[in-house]
Amino acid sequence: MTRVKNSVPVFRSHDGHNVFFFCFWFSWQSRCVVLRYSKLTDEQVLRRVEEVCALECVEKTSDGLDAIVFSADGDMRNALNNLQATVTGFCTVNERNVFKVCVSRFFFCYDG
């Protein structure tokens, strides 16, 4: 592996050929725009999570949906990822299952 100025590493394969992953950071950075989004309200997140649960025929409880909204902290992507992880792992969305999935982030917020 070698480095080229202002780029990511250039890797050499085992047969000696170069595999280039050039990413001239400064030239890419000048062409990018950073978008910052404000947090969604709990009502907005809850409404969309309920829509998804209805479309996917998910077994849910109201405390489970509240836990999804709490764990999302205004981020719709987090809400849907947590919903998917909970359904995949436990099939039922309730408060206990949501916080089992989100335990690393909310360990100190849940005492059940």
DSSP state of 50: H
Q: With contact defined as beta carbons under 8 Å apart, do 64 and 92 qualify? A: yes
Class of domain 42-106: mainly alpha
Q: What tens digit of pLDDT does each residue of 90-103 get?
A: 999 999 999 998 86
DSSP 93: E
Domain with CATH 1.10.8.60 in the chain: 42-106
Task: Classify residue 91 by its DSSP letter.
Answer: S
The pTM score is 0.66
Q: Is the pLDDT of residue 33 over 70?
A: yes
**If you average pLDDT over residues 9-25, what whole number do you get?**
51
Residue 14 confidence class, pLDDT cut points 50, 70, 90: low
Which tokens in the block code for residue 12? 């050499």
pLDDT digits (tens, 9 = 90+) for 44-75: 999 999 999 999 999 999 999 999 999 999 99
